[in-house]
Amino acid sequence: MILSDRRKRVTIKDVAQAAGVSTQTVSRVMNKYSYVSGGTRQRVQGAVEQLGYRPSTLARSLSQQRSYTLGVVTFGLKYIGPSRTLNGIADKADELGYMLLTKKLDNFDANGIDEVMESLLARQVDGIIWDVPEVDENRAWSQGIKSLPVPIVFMSMEPKPGYSVVSMDSYLGAQLATQHLLDQGCRNIGHIAGPQDWWEARLRYQGWRDTLVKAGVQVSDKQWQQGNWSSASGAIAIEKLLERYPEMDGVFAANDQMALSVLSEASRRGIKVPDQLAVVGFDGIAESANFYPPLTTISQDPQLLGGQAV
Amino acid sequence: MILSDRRKRVTIKDVAQAAGVSTQTVSRVMNKYSYVSGGTRQRVQGAVEQLGYRPSTLARSLSQQRSYTLGVVTFGLKYIGPSRTLNGIADKADELGYMLLTKKLDNFDANGIDEVMESLLARQVDGIIWDVPEVDENRAWSQGIKSLPVPIVFMSMEPKPGYSVVSMDSYLGAQLATQHLLDQGCRNIGHIAGPQDWWEARLRYQGWRDTLVKAGVQVSDKQWQQGNWSSASGAIAIEKLLERYPEMDGVFAANDQMALSVLSEASRRGIKVPDQLAVVGFDGIAESANFYPPLTTISQDPQLLGGQAV
DNA sequence: AGCTAAAATGTTATCGATAACATGTTATCG
DNA sequence: CGATAACATGTTATCGATAACATTTTAGCT
């Protein structure tokens, strides 16, 4: 029953009184503890239903010193990738009976980071999931985090000894993507990269480059162009690429937003996709499935981090 | 300082002892309460820094009977719309010093709903934001929620007396979209609708229909087709539409995913967009800005709900 | 000086639950 | 049949903080 009176919360005491037992006994019933006689148990359960008693997780957390709550720090949700990850985390957390306290990070300055950590810790989270892409600026910081009172799991960060890191394999994904283009017969494959101070962007770039080299294809700097993940930057990048690398017959974009721009630009110029120009993106936005195959999934993450966090 | 010893949490008592005062005084300092002499204040602050004391929000919540936490219930984050809303909520909450406890709803069955509410309430949230689209099935339920001990704000729900509802105006948006097509000279405008048991889908449909009628354009059932928000359904829908309504020169899709499919299908068939077929979507995914103007934003929501929730 | 208001700080109770310990009841067994 | 274990339940202390009330200083004024 969801009835409960708006005025005052029903506490364990009320139940105890109603059932004519001590609060401890009620607690035992609630936690399926042994050593409670059938009769008493029933009486208590009756009272619980009757009053619409709902134990306060807060109080429980305080006395047990664990909150059954995980802190999740994300970097905006502007991009679709993170938001899907969050989804996965949510699922797993649910399964394990945890709730998520979400915090959003808007910039990388150390102050903000500290503050976020503070507020999370103050709420006694049992663990923290750090789903913020690693950029040069915030890398240094992660050093100082060593002595946290709770376990922390990093996502999308370069693995470092002593830390738990869960991430999808950007490098492998990029290799697959590039290989895919090669398989389709492309020989002049360009790359629209993400900002090179992002660890993941570098990986994707390298995956692309290495694959080409391994396949015995020449790679020069005119074949790639850096974007900043946004559609707009993708549009600019493809334009430049087409200009200085006209023989290009395939492009690997470091994320789907930029890949979309390529498509749009191509159609504007009347370039046939994929006949004249094959395009592969990265991230696996569902909507883009029509255009190019989604390449990597993060489906493994929730699993892992669930385990880690516990 | 984030140093804090991994073993045991620093409590207010430790600080009190270190500073040679009572816990109450420490509390006063922490809360910038008046009536603390400069000297004492300094001593306390010194101890706080030294020990890396971090007051436990949990304990505070318990004694103050408010958690400074809002519960947010979303319906998956598969679609980009909700995730952007969440973003907005997060911003505002941050600003007001609230944290967000997020819960995800996967289906509409009453059991799940109850459970979610329970867990939120058990954590003493100060308010709940219900960001779940209204579908026939879960409508009935919202009745029973009346007697909640905390305020609740609904998003994306048909306004009803007695409830706080914050939502973007689907109807208006649809009108704008349709009008936009009319302005571009289209006269045969189709619509790919969302599932008609979604309140918002109905609104968009109606907005489209009404605008056409008002403009003196004939509207018949062959001009629209229902999808289920997914790209795939959009592809099917556009196919059917093209088939039975070949003279169509404009389409309004109820969300961007479906609109994307239209674009893709069009390019496959060699239909020029927007010359032969103008396309308008709905939701304002950033990436699609290249193709069609984003129509509605939810920027007002965070504002409102912030106010409401407090 | 004597008295009172304001300022500074300490005490105790409380929030809602659980842990640890204590006590009273039944069984069970030699 | 008495003892010892297993079962059932109640008491008290505790988690970390704040609220309410009590007490002691200090300051200001006549």
Pairing of strands A250-253, A69-75: unpaired
Triad A80, A85, A86: Cα angle to 5°? 100
- Measured between beta carbons, the chain A residues lying within 8 angstroms of B145 are 2
Question: Rounded to the nearest 10 degrees, how much is the dihedral formed by the CA atoms of A198, A203, A205, A207?
Answer: -170
- Give the mean pLDDT of B12-35: 88
SS3 for B226? strand
Q: A236 CA to chain B: closest CA distance, Å?
A: 12
Residues paired with B166 in a beta bridge: B155
In strand D, the nucleotides that come within 7 Å of a protein beta carbon are 7-12, 14-20
Please tell me the distance from the alpha carbon of residue B39 to that of residue B41, in angstroms, as a whole number.
5
What pTM value is reported for the model? 0.74
Tell me whether the omega of the peptide bond preceding residue B149 falls within 30 degrees of 0, making it cis.
no
- Restricting to A residues 60-89, those with a Cβ less than 8 Å away from any Cβ of B are 61-62, 67, 69, 76-78, 80, 83-84, 86-87
Model pLDDT, residue A289: 45
- Give the mean pLDDT of A41-47: 90
Q: Tell me which residue of B49, B44, B7 sits closest to B27, measured CA to CA.
A: B44
More confident residue, B186 or A296: B186
B76 closest CB neighbour out of A58, A87, A264: A87
Please tell me the distance from the alpha carbon of residue B1 to that of residue B143, in angstroms, as a whole number.
49
Residue B280: in which H helix or E strand, if any? strand B278-280
In B215-291, which ranges are continuous DSSP H helix? 231-244, 256-269
Task: Name the nt closest to A56 by C-alpha to C1'.
Answer: C16
- The residue to which tokens 């007051």 are assigned: B55
Pairing of strands B99-105, A99-105: antiparallel
Please tell me the distance from the alpha carbon of residue A286 to that of residue B216, in angstroms, as a whole number.
38
**Cβ–Cβ contact A2 with B under 8 A:** yes
Helices H / strands E in chain B, number of each: 12, 9
- Measured between beta carbons, the chain A residues lying within 8 angstroms of B6 are 147-149
User: Phi then psi for A120, rounded to 5 degrees?
Assistant: -70, -45
Q: A237 CA to chain B: closest CA distance, Å?
A: 15
A3: nearest CA in chain B? B147
- Give the mean pLDDT of A244-273: 80
- Asked if A86 contacts A98 with a C-beta cutoff of 8 angstroms, the reply is no
More confident residue, B118 or B28: B28
More confident residue, A157 or B129: B129
Please tell me the distance from the alpha carbon of residue A7 to that of residue B149, in angstroms, as a whole number.
7
A152-166, B37-51, B177-191, range with the lowest pLDDT: A152-166
Instruction: Round to a whole number and report the distance in Å from the CA of A39 to the C1' of C23.
Output: 21
**Cβ–Cβ contact A287 with B under 8 A:** yes
Q: Is the CB of B214 under 7 A from strand D?
A: no
Residues paired with B251 in a beta bridge: B190, B279
As to burial, measured by CB atoms within 10 angstroms (0-12 exposed, 13-18 middle, 19+ buried), residue A217 is middle
Please tell me the distance from the alpha carbon of residue B191 to that of residue B201, in angstroms, as a whole number.
11
Helices H / strands E in chain A, number of each: 12, 9
**Cβ–Cβ contact B261 with A under 8 A:** yes
Please tell me the distance from the alpha carbon of residue A160 to that of residue A166, in angstroms, as a whole number.
11
Q: In chain A, what's the furthest Cα-to-Cα distance?
A: 85
**Tell me: the pLDDT tens digits for B81-125?**
555 667 777 777 777 788 889 888 877 666 677 788 888 888 888
- Asked if B101 contacts B129 with a C-beta cutoff of 8 angstroms, the reply is no
